[in-house]
Every structure is written in structure tokens, then in C-alpha cells.
Chain A
Amino acid sequence: MTTSMPDAVHTRTADLVDTTASERASAAAPRRRRLSRPAWVSRRTALILVLQLAILGGFLFAWETAIRRGMGSEVFFSRPSLIWDELLAYVTGPEIVTDSYATISETLLGFGLGAVLGVLVGLLVGRYSFFRSVSSPFLTALNALPRVALAPMFILWFGIGMESKIYLVASVVFFLVMVATESGIRTIDPDFLMMGRAIGSTERHMFVKIVLPASVPALFSGLKLGAVYALLAAIFGEMLAADHGWGRKIALGSQSFQPAAVFAVLVVVLVFALALNGLMSAIERRLLRWQS
């Protein structure tokens, strides 16, 4: 019977402490795979890109032709070539600087304020049931309230300058980030907490070294959503009342039947939104390298 046993069983104790060859191979394999990508993957990527460009081009072409042939009113729908002219005029003109400065500042400052407070409150409420019990009715009620409905009040309280939009943005971002952080903490793998306790962690270590890093993935889903809503809230606030900003420009353009101007600003908004999202994803990838 002994002769039919696998080699590993026969190895003497000293070798037994060492890792088996199969264990090493299975652990090293994914790293090797990542380096060389088969050729068909890049061909597939190229095909996807070509199709995407074709869909975009086709859509713009159809839009342009339909309006030129009178299938819709230019006053309501505009068309891509007019929007392009308007866009060129906007980005080379003086207004874009003050508008972009206002909207970007409101978005980023409001986002930063809301996110920092959201993470802090989310951590406290998620970790300590006492805080949760005390604050939950208030937080639930405030969260259920559509905060954009408060936008006119923010303008009343903080004026038509940037301040009112920063607070509006922060109030929207705060709840998104807080809820995500809290749920991240409450869904931590209980094994981590058990291990932390068994090995003798202090509360500070549990919080900083286990709870906080373990909630980063959930926290980031909240931050990414928060970034989208931050821009939305800033633009919405500006549409109500503002000195400068993309939202104000959109409101003016639509009120004066200049759809090309509205679409031109939307292109600028889109570029910023994509850049913001890209930045968030890059930070997330950097922080969550270990997840691969």
C-alpha cells in the first residue's frame, strides 16, 4: 500500500515543511498569464473600437441629415455642425474660463466636503451601534428628502454665488458616501473581526487596520456615484440662479431657443464628467491593486 502513495507522503519531514511544486506553480500561473496577451484579444479590441466609432458617426450623420431635410425643427433640435461651430466659439471665447472655474470648483469643493463628512459619519455609524441608534431616524429622514428640492433654500441662505452650490453638492454627496461607507463596514467579513480580536487587536487597530481598509471597496462605489451626483447638483443649482457656470449657460441657452449653445455646453460637461470618472477609477485601481 505504501508504494502506491503519492511521492509527497514519502518525502521526509524536512522537505515537508517546504512548499510542493504544484503549489508554487498554481500560485505563479496568474502572474505569467497577465504578461502575454494573445493576438486575438487586441484584434477584438480594435473591432469593438471601430464599431463604437461607426455607431457614433452614424448617429451624428443621421441627426444632421434629418434636420437638413426638414424632418425636425432646427430651432428645437439643432444639428451637429451647428453645435460644432457653437462649441468652437464657446471654447475659444472668454466665458468658458469663468463658467468652468465656477462649476468645477463647486463640484470638487462640494464633493470633497460631502465625501469627508460622509466617510467620517459612515464609519462612526457603521462601527458603533450607539451612534447608529441615535442618529438613524434623522439620517433616514434627511436621506429620503430629495435634496434638490432644497436647492432654492440654499440659494436663499447662501446667495447666488458659488457657496450655495458647494453646500448643495455637499449635501447630496454626503448621504451617498455615508450610506456606502456604513454598508461597507456592516458587511465586513466577520472572520476578519474574529481574527483581529483573537490576535489581540486594540480597538484603534481594529478600526484603522481592519475595518477601514476592508470598507474601501464599498466606500469607493459611494465616492464614484457621489462624483456623478456632485456634477449634477452643481449644474442644477446653477440653472436656478448663478453668476457663472455651465448650468447657467444651459438655462440661458434653452430659455432663448439656442439649442446649439445648450448642446455645446453639454459636450464640455461630458468631457469633464468623463475626466472626473477616469480620475476616480484610477485612484480606485491604485488603492485596490490587491483585489486582482
Chain B
Amino acid sequence: MTETSPAIAIRGVTHNFIRRGQDPMLAINEVSLDVAEGEFIALVGPSGCGKTTLLNLVAGLVPLQQGRIEVRGRLVEKPHRDVGYISARDSLLPWRTAEGNVAYGLEVRGVPKRERLERARSMLGLVGLAGFEKSHRSQLSQGMRQRVAIARTLATEPELLLLDEPFSALDQQTKLLLENAFIEIWDRSHRTVVMVTHDIEEAVAMADRVVMLSHRPGEVIADIPVDLPRPRDAAEIRYDARFREITHGVWELLRGELAQLDPAQI
């Protein structure tokens, strides 16, 4: 793979929601987007702009209808083991312990039991859950569950991470803690990340680039580079003047987009 070939290449992707007994609804229209190797991009946009659908198309969880998506030069057809996916819902298997959940992805990959439990434990340590290896989902707080979910995906060492509002189900404090934990871990490996979020501050605080989609049908309407230094502290950076400038710019764009909408559509 050459230096210039993107980690993700999205070309002319159009997607319709097909609903029984109704006309298909155009959700995404002619979206093209490149994500460079090691880049962290945030996808933002009004609700219903198809950003999650676009992410699921890249993940191979939703079949592609029109256009072309390549991940590291390979056409996406179904979920690939090099790609990690984290959603807002932890989806922990409640009958498994925390370490059992983290080890799941490794189990699927045929890693021997001893090794996968060892790796699961060290991943739990990395997300700050040492001592909770044997806890079941019902014994963990929402923030801890999401940490386990993040550890489960990171344990498989994906080349590419797709995040669907990974911190949106958390309270403000836990959210800041986890955002920070995540970028700290990310700083060590610089994997390619695409994060869907509705939180503009989160997008600017974490990403290298913020890509904005329009309201349905989703089209790319802005691509804003975030030239803030790294390593960043997701909490502290919110008091930075440049951060506020960028956030304000993104918000102005989003407001312009929202202003065109009929309130009943939102």
C-alpha cells in the first residue's frame, strides 16, 4: 500500500431506505469521502442525515446499494475482522463476565483461551477496569459497561475503528473521562478512526477533521480541518480559544443547515 492511498475511499455512495408499502426514501446522496491512514475523522450532521447509515455501510453491516466503498484497497462486502465497531449501546453479553466479554472477539479469532484471557485482562487495565474482570454487566455502571465494550473492540487490534456515537449514552462527566481515555489510547497507535457524533464539541475535541452531512438526503456539505495540537485533553481543550473558534464555525454551518428545515421534519 502506497503512502497516498486512503484508508477509506467512499465513492458516489447513494442509499435508499426501503420501507414496506412505501416509496423508497433517499437517505444518502452521492457521498464521496477519503479518510487517510491514521486519520481521526468525525461525521456530524442533523439527526436523520444518514451518518450512522454511512458508517454501517463502511462497516459492511448494511449492504451497499450504489457506489463504491474501499477499506484499505479492499471492497467492502461484509464485516471485516480488521475493522472494529463500537456503538452507543454496550451490547455486552450479560451472561459473560467483563473479561469474558472482552475476550469474545479473540475467541472468534481462535486465540487460545489462556492468551485471550490474558489479553482481555490487560485491555481492561488499559481502560481503567482492573479489579472488575469477574463482574457481570448487571454489576457495572453505564460508564464501566461502555469501557468494557471499548476494550472488547480494541482487544482485537483493528486497523480501522468505526464509532457510532460511542459516548452518547453517558453522563457529562463520564463522557469526558471516556473521551480522554479513548484519545490517550488512540495517541499510542494512531489507527484510522471514523466517529459519528451529534456532539460538535466532542467532534472538534477528538478529531483531525470534522465532516458535516446535510439533512436527508445526506450529502457532504463541509469538511473542516481541526488544527489543534496533540496530545489533547478532551476536557481542557474546551477552554482553548482556537477550539472555540472552530466549534463556533461548525455550529454556524449546522445552524444554517437546520434553518432550512421544516420543524416538522426534524
Residues of A within 8 A of B (CB): 1-2, 5-6, 8-10, 12-13, 16-20, 23, 26-27, 30-31, 189, 191-192, 194-195, 197-202, 205, 209-210, 213-214, 216, 288, 290-292
Contact = CB atoms under 8 A, between A and B. Distances in A.
Nearest to B235: A9
Central interface residue in A13, A30, A197, A210, by most chain B CB within 10 Å: A13
A198 B108 contact: no
Nearest to B129: A19
Contact of B180 (A16, A31, A214): A16
B59 A198 contact: yes
Interface in B84-122: 84-85, 87, 89, 91, 93-96, 104-105, 107-109
B168 to A, nearest CB: 15
Nearest to A202: B108
B139 A2 contact: no
Given A18-B128, A27-B144, A209-B107, A6 B184 contact: no
Q: Label chain A's interface by main secondary structure.
A: helix
B127 interface: yes
B91 A197 contact: no
Interface in B216-233: 231, 233
B174 to A, nearest CB: 7
Contact of B139 (A12, A31, A200): A31
Interface in B141-185: 141, 143-144, 147, 152-153, 156, 173-174, 176-177, 180-181, 184-185
B52 to A, nearest CB: 12
A200 to B, nearest CB: 4
Nearest to A30: B139
Given A17-B126, A292-B138, 11 more contacts: A5-B235, A13-B180, A19-B144, A27-B140, A27-B144, A195-B85, A197-B61, A200-B156, A205-B108, A288-B95, A290-B95
Contact of A213 (B61, B95, B136): B95
B38 interface: no
Contacts of B173: 6, 8-9, 20
A27 B108 contact: no
Nearest to A210: B93
Contact of A13 (B89, B141, B144, B233): B233
Contacts of B61: 194, 197-198
B132 interface: yes
B184 A27 contact: no
A13 B135 contact: no
B79 interface: yes
Contacts of A16: 176-177, 180-181, 184, 235
A194 B231 CA distance: 33
A13 B184 contact: yes
Contacts of A198: 59, 61, 79, 85
B248 interface: no
B233 A199 contact: no
B128 A19 contact: yes
Contacts of B93: 192, 209-210, 213-214
A144 B126 CA distance: 56
8 contacts: A19-B128, A19-B144, A30-B139, A31-B139, A189-B91, A191-B89, A199-B153, A213-B95
B176 A199 contact: no
A214 B147 CA distance: 22
A214 B93 CA distance: 8
Interface string B46-69: 000000000000010100000000
Nearest to B236: A9
A291 B94 contact: yes
